[in-house]
Amino acid sequence: MLSLESIRIFMRAAETGSFSAAGRSLRLSPSVISYRIQTLEQHLGCLLLTRTTRRMNLTEAGRVFYDRCLDIAASVERAEKSVETEGAAPRGTLKVTAPLTLGRRVVAPLIPAFRERHPEADVHLRLSDHLLDLVQEAVDVAVRLAQMRDSSFTLRKIADIERILCASPAYLAEHPAPESPAELIDHACLLLRFPGSEQFRWSVRDGDEVVTLPVSGPIDADDGDVLTEWALQGLGIVLKPVFEVAPHLADGRLVPVLPGTPPTPVTLGVVYPSRKMLPSRAKTFIEMTTEALRAHVGAQLDLIGRRPAR
């Protein structure tokens, strides 16, 4: 007879694409994951997953079974909710990721309050300016500040975020400000670099057109806060979301560069798996995070008399 635990393990392995990632998510060893899926396949009499050295993929039978398992998982969650007492606390494990700056200033401070309200829910927070593979890392809730691409995840959009090129007065005193985007090539540009990063190309709006330029500089980092500090120290031009540098723009420590050709905007949002029914712990955290992010961005932009575009 099939067990719900085996179904849960199979679904997570299918979603993450590896026994290791599924094991990290479920706090089980890869060998346990492998054994449970092999047992499931033996029971069903068919192969559910094909394994390669790099990734697993669902077989045709596996895809059919996975779709049915989604219905089973939704039915089980409905059954659980039907007997929950009003105000029952969310429980289980929640894996959250966010960019470094927003993670430190907004998301991490939420977790003590979330745990105080819901002590039976565990939270694993991963902060990185890298765009993590949400499926591979088995992420439940992700804060994203990026140009969103189509995916199997649902986006809770918070705002379109304007970005800005800026530098310190000291840097511009030694290096005259560029008068056109093409002149950025001659400047020290502070780049957010990591494997797979596209930040060595900056896109700006020139009238109705978008111009994308290759830029470079003598130093780069994979932490956006480090780039801001370097810009404040006069080491180059940085591309940042306006709200992140609003305090420095307000006090004149950073000044706009090429304000007539601003960078293309990005979207701030919370993304999560596209499921018919989200666990209550995820729903609660998404609501808390969305409210806190809106408040944070609005407060920062108020310093320079701007508001985010919804």
pLDDT one-digit tens code per residue, 163-191: 999 999 999 999 999 999 999 999 999 99
Q: What's residue 82's pLDDT?
A: 55
Q: What is the distance of C-alpha 157 from the center of its chain? A: 12
Q: What's residue 136's pLDDT?
A: 72
- Which domains are present in the chain? 4-83 (1.10.10.10), 92-161+267-302 (3.40.190.10), 163-264 (3.40.190.290)
DSSP 163: E
- d(Cα 272, Cα 285) in Å, to the nearest integer? 11
Q: What's residue 125's pLDDT?
A: 94
φ, ψ of residue 176 to 5 degrees: the values are -50, 140
Beta bridge partners of 125: 96
pLDDT averaged over every residue in the chain: 86
Contact 279, 77 (CB under 8 A): yes
Q: In the predicted model, is pLDDT for residue 96 greater than 90?
A: yes
Q: In the predicted model, is pLDDT for residue 233 greater than 60?
A: yes
DSSP 193: -
Higher pLDDT, 131 or 142: 142
Beta bridge partners of 93: 122
Tokens for 83, please give them.
């007997």
Residues 85-104, buried b or exposed e (16+ Cβ, 10 A)?
Answer: eeeeebeeebbbbbbbbbbe
Give which of 91, 38, 39 is closest to 281, Cα–Cα: 91
- d(Cα 181, Cα 114) in Å, to the nearest integer? 45
